[in-house]
Amino acid sequence: MTHRTRRDFLLKSSALGSLALRYLLASDNALAAAGTPSANPLAPKPAHHTPKAKSVIWCFMDGGPSHIDLFDPKPALEKYAGQPLPPSFGKVMTAMGTGNNTLMPSPRKWKQYGQSGMWVSDWYPHVAQHVDDLCVIRSCWADGLNHVGSVCQMNTGSLLGGRPSMGAWVLYGLGSMNENLPAFVVLAEDRPITGGPKNWSSGFLPATYQGTLFRNTGSPILYLDTPNSVAPEQQRSKLDFIGKLNQNFAATDPHDTELAARLNSYELAYRMQTAAPEAVDLTKESEATRKLYGMDDPKTAKYGANCLLARRLVERGVRFVEAYSGSGSQWDSHTDMEGNHGRMCRSSDKPIAGLIADLKARGMLDDTLVVWGGEFGRTPFNEAGDGRDHNPWGFTIFMAGGGARPGKYVGTTDEIGLRAVERPIHVHDIHATILHMLGLNHLNLTFMHNGRAERPTIVAGNLVPEIYT
């Protein structure tokens, strides 16, 4: 039996069918102009409401930074020092045991900074200089106990892989602002990111919305460089020929969005061969800027380079950048809290402070949302005497710029920093709020998958207006 499309039927039908065909063609043109998948799936799309931010830089502390040693001081821990967890705080089952170890005060020195008087420990002295630009959320909570599931949830909303990441949803909802670079970029340090590609996957969304992992050295993207034996004219001719073959095939099925995405990816790859090397060339920056990010110090140079690269990418219209500090769960500190966090804080403090200062000086902080945090916090009781276990029940993240209220606290944990008690804010609430600040309603940002209208926050998520109003 010969396959006949709806258009074939209408074309060979009555005059009424011809009118219907003209309407369909006009609709296709209108859809193409609107930037739907029938045209360029990465074309800019209108927001649901007026956005406060146009791009995101997420400084992800892979492994779980200790909120009670950085931004959430708990003097009560001195009172309970060396004692078992009091029954009034409830039973706790941690990743490494039952949580029966003794309570451990923070040895840090704390000060209040800025006009807002926010508390920051001596582990983050450079970030402390910018507290009046920060909205510090001290009542976050999540569902997982292990790193792989929790990093996945912070990125996708789910402990299990397979759902689209936040960057993919943002790209799906808003499109790209740069035709020559990936709109969603992931930056790692020396180790693979905990959980790997599922954290920047497009899940059930079209593959064109997934993140692109940039490399630290050499060409930023594998296989992007044209071989030396291939001249630019040859490369352009080859892509034109491939494009013509694909277009001929696409004409037989105009609604094949996967083929349309493939055509766009070929052209994007060609344009990136020129744009990507320029974007990642940090030698173009002044010596003063490089020092601002700590690139003159071996202890801060790696993360400083990623933070500076994040600014350069956002400056060129990249919509969503994740810069991982301590990729491979290096913030994890079950033992030697002092050595582990001392090292990780030293490597990330100055680069993050430099990023905030640089964005502000360039007038970019107003519409660039900077997010800091990990997949969870650390427990107030010790493990092995000098470390802390995983704590998903109450931890801290902060936001800066992009409409976040500067110099404000949102929420609190209990007196020992174990659980969020005032204004608990779940990962889904964080995601809903970030999307809102980008101009997207998380309830209306949907994609049909297996007969269900899926959305970024699954079946949960509430806005936290205290963060942005």
Cβ-count burial of 33 within 10 angstroms (0-12 exposed, 13-18 middle, 19+ buried)?
Answer: exposed
Contact 200, 167 (CB under 8 A): yes
Sequence-ordered strand ranges (E) for 268-376: 320-325, 368-373
321 bridge partner residues: 57, 185
Q: How far apart are CA 446 and CA 435, in angstroms?
A: 13
Return all residues near 167 (Cβ < 8 A) that are at least 6 apart.
Answer: 56, 184, 186, 200, 211, 319, 320, 322
Residue-range domain boundaries for the chain: 50-220+280-467, 228-270
Helix (H) / strand (E) containing 309:
helix 301-315
Q: Among all chains, which residue has been given the structure tokens 């912070």?
A: 154
Q: How far apart are CA 437 and CA 463, in angstroms?
A: 10
Q: What is the pTM of this model?
A: 0.86
CATH topology of domain 50-220+280-467: Alkaline Phosphatase, subunit A (3.40.720)
Q: How far apart are CA 404 and CA 134, in angstroms?
A: 8
AA letter at 52: K
Its sign, for the CA torsion 376, 373, 384, 160, is positive
From the list 41, 447, 46, the residue with the least C-alpha distance to 265 is: 41
| pLDDT in single tens digits along all 469 residues of the chain | 444 444 444 344 444 444 433 433 333 334 443 334 446 889 999 999 999 999 999 999 999 999 999 999 999 999 999 999 999 999 898 988 766 689 999 999 999 999 999 999 999 999 999 999 999 999 999 999 999 999 999 999 999 999 999 999 999 999 999 989 999 999 999 899 999 999 999 999 998 999 999 876 666 665 555 566 656 677 667 667 766 776 777 677 766 656 666 666 656 666 767 777 888 899 999 999 999 999 999 999 999 999 999 999 999 999 999 999 999 999 999 999 999 999 999 999 999 999 999 999 999 999 999 999 999 999 999 988 899 999 999 999 999 999 999 999 999 999 999 999 999 999 999 999 999 999 999 999 999 999 999 999 999 999 999 999 8
pLDDT given for residue 190 in this prediction: 86
What DSSP string runs through 13-26?
S-HHHHHHHHHHHH
C-alpha distance from residue 344 to each of 39, 254, 325 (Å): 45, 52, 8
